């Protein structure tokens, strides 16, 4: 177990009577973002993360619209993220020979700002490590609430008490399972699995990507980090499988079996997959819950309202949710009952709008039949010339901007 301990004492902030200790499970996006704002408002955050260190790699994530940009700007990380942006342009669909057949515009995929998920996690960690206690290589095993707080036991570390606990631990949230019940009650499988890993840019892609779609399968490659490397992405349609999410060997074997004889670059990428340092494999799903808190425990980001990785909304939604949750806790002076209710009231419609962006995308990404795959390939070829060609990007932007953010810091200072 690795500890990165900084000054976790509360800093006096106008509008907060006293600091409160908050345990956050998950150090990806929502967790560090929440820790940043909690500290700003006078709370003492601790983050516990199952992985032994920050996770590098992962797919590119994008932000679009004023709500996303406002949170990043207020956090002071916008310039650094812009420096790390992928700069990815349009995505081309290719045939088996690699010849481009259709091109989809950049704003549909990359929004206003696109960065690699690993770079985002690093920047958020750097912005919080001086005032947040990070505990890597451990996880929560039980939560017992009483009138004064939550008694937390860990897989490796000694038990501790916190005033509040927040699950920011993703689609397969352990916190959610411990407090609300089994995953299958809340996670809707969208009929698709995804794998992604880093490889060399052997196609010589210049801030762009190529995708090859067949019945029930899609393979894509796009350049990353100034074209010095590439990300390989595999999607395939399937009902929910009985797979150990930590059995990488079995996952890679399954992927090889599913894409055998698929054509284009599939075989070459599968060979290089075995040497990838950051192989990721998971089901694609959405989280639907009637409520995001119970007692002194709340959920944020994908743990509460995952819109699916196909929506293009997950990271932006997580950042906004963390901002609102911390702000409402500060506005309520640490009264979690009032704060959690207001957090849900502020976020519910916005989260549901972002989730709609993921509805139906799976069938377009990996159509079940060869006939439908062929139709979509032909449709994408003529789509740039159709009157509604910019409609998908406009709909995505509207969903991303469908919230008015309060300036909690200004409101608290004015008290």
**pLDDT at res. 402:** 85
Residue 380 in domain: no
| The pLDDT value given to residue 132 | 98
DSSP category for residue 216: T
pLDDT at 405: 93
pLDDT in tens, 337-349: 999 999 999 999 9
Distance CA 415, CA 408 (A): 11
Residue 33: pLDDT band with limits 50, 70, 90: very high
Question: What's the rounded Cα separation, in Å, for the pair 317 and 142?
Answer: 27
What value does the mean pLDDT take over residues 149-166?
Answer: 97
**Residue 333: alpha-carbon gap to chain centroid:** 29
User: Mean pLDDT of all residues in the chain?
Assistant: 87
In a domain, residue 103? The reply is yes
Determine, yes or no, domain membership for 292: yes
Residue 368 has pLDDT above 80, yes or no: no
In a domain, 241, yes or no: yes
Burial class (CB in 10 A: 0-12, 13-18, 19+), 99: exposed
Closest by CA to 364, choosing from 354, 374, 376, is 376
Query: How many structural domains are present in the chain?
Result: 1
Q: Could you tell me if residue 134 is left (phi over 0), alpha (psi between -120 and 50 degrees) or otherwise beta?
A: beta
pTM of structure: 0.89
Any domain includes 161: yes
Q: What is the predicted pLDDT for the residue at 369?
A: 67
Complete DSSP assignment for 219-286: EEEEEETTTTEEEEEEEEE-SPP---TT-HHHHHHHHHHHTTT--TTHHHHHHHHTT-TT-EEEEEEE
- Give the per-residue pLDDT at 19: 52
Angle between helices 30-40 and 65-75 (to 10 degrees): 60
CATH, residue 251? 3.50.50.60
> What integer is the mean pLDDT of 115-123?
92
- Phi then psi for 249, rounded to 5 degrees? -60, -45
What percent of the chain shows pLDDT beyond 90? Answer: 65
Q: Tell me, yes or no, whether 132 lies in a domain.
A: yes
> Rounded to 5 degrees, what angle do the CA atoms 63, 341, 168 make?
45
Which pLDDT tens digit goes with each residue over 207-237? 889 999 898 999 999 998 889 999 999 999 9
Q: Enter the tokens of residue 318.
A: 């997580």
Asked if residue 171 lies in contact with residue 285, where contact means CB atoms within 8 angstroms, the answer is yes
Domain containing residue 183: 2-363+394-413
Question: Would you say residue 3 has pLDDT above 70?
Answer: no
What pLDDT band is residue 409 in, cutting at 50, 70 and 90?
Answer: confident
Res 13 pLDDT > 80: no
Q: What six digits make up the tokens of 60?
A: 């590119």
Whether 385 maps to a domain, the answer reads no
pLDDT tops 80 at residue 395: no
Classify residue 388: in a domain, yes or no: no
């Amino acid at each position: 177990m690795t500890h990165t301990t900084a000054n976790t004492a509360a800093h006096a902030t106008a509008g907060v009577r006293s600091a409160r200790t908050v345990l956050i499970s998950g150090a990806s996006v929502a967790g560090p973002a929440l820790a940043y704002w909690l500290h700003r408002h006078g709370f003492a955050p601790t983050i516990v993360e199952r992985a032994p260190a920050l996770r590098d790699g992962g797919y590119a994530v994008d932000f679009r619209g004023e709500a996303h940009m406002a949170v990043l700007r207020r956090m002071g990380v916008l310039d650094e993220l812009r420096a790390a942006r992928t700069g990815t342009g349009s995505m081309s669909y290719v045939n088996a020979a690699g010849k481009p057949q259709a091109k989809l515009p950049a704003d549909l995929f990359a929004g206003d700002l696109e960065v690699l998920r690993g770079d985002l996690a690093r920047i958020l960690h750097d912005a919080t490590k001086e005032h947040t206690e990070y505990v890597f290589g451990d996880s929560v095993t039980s939560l017992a609430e009483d009138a004064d707080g939550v008694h937390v036991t860990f897989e490796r570390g000694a038990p501790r008490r916190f005033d509040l606990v927040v699950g920011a631990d993703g689609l397969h949230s352990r916190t959610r399972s411990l407090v609300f019940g089994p995953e299958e009650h809340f996670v809707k499988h969208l009929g698709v699995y995804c794998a992604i890993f880093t490889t060399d840019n052997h196609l010589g892609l210049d801030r762009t990507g190529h995708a090859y779609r067949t019945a029930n399968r899609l393979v894509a490659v796009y350049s990353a980090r100034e074209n010095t490397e590439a990300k390989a992405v595999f999607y395939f349609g399937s009902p929910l499988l009985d797979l150990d999410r930590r059995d990488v060997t079995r996952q890679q074997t399954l992927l090889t079996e599913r894409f055998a004889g698929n054509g284009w670059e599939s075989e070459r990428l599968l060979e290089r997959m075995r040497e990838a340092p950051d192989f990721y494999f998971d089901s694609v799903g959405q989280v639907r819950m009637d409520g995001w808190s119970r007692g002194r425990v709340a959920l944020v980001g994908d743990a509460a309202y995952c819109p699916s990785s196909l929506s293009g909304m997950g990271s932006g939604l997580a950042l906004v949710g963390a901002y609102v949750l911390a702000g409402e806790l500060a506005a309520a002076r640490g009264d979690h009952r009032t704060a959690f209710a207001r957090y849900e009231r502020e976020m519910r419609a916005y989260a549901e709008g972002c989730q709609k962006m993921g509805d139906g995308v799976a069938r377009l990404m990996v159509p079940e039949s060869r006939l439908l795959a062929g139709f979509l390939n032909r449709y994408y070829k003529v789509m740039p010339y159709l009157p509604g060609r910019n409609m998908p990007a406009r709909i995505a932007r509207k969903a991303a901007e469908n919230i008015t953010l309060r300036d909690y810091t200004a409101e608290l200072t004015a008290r």
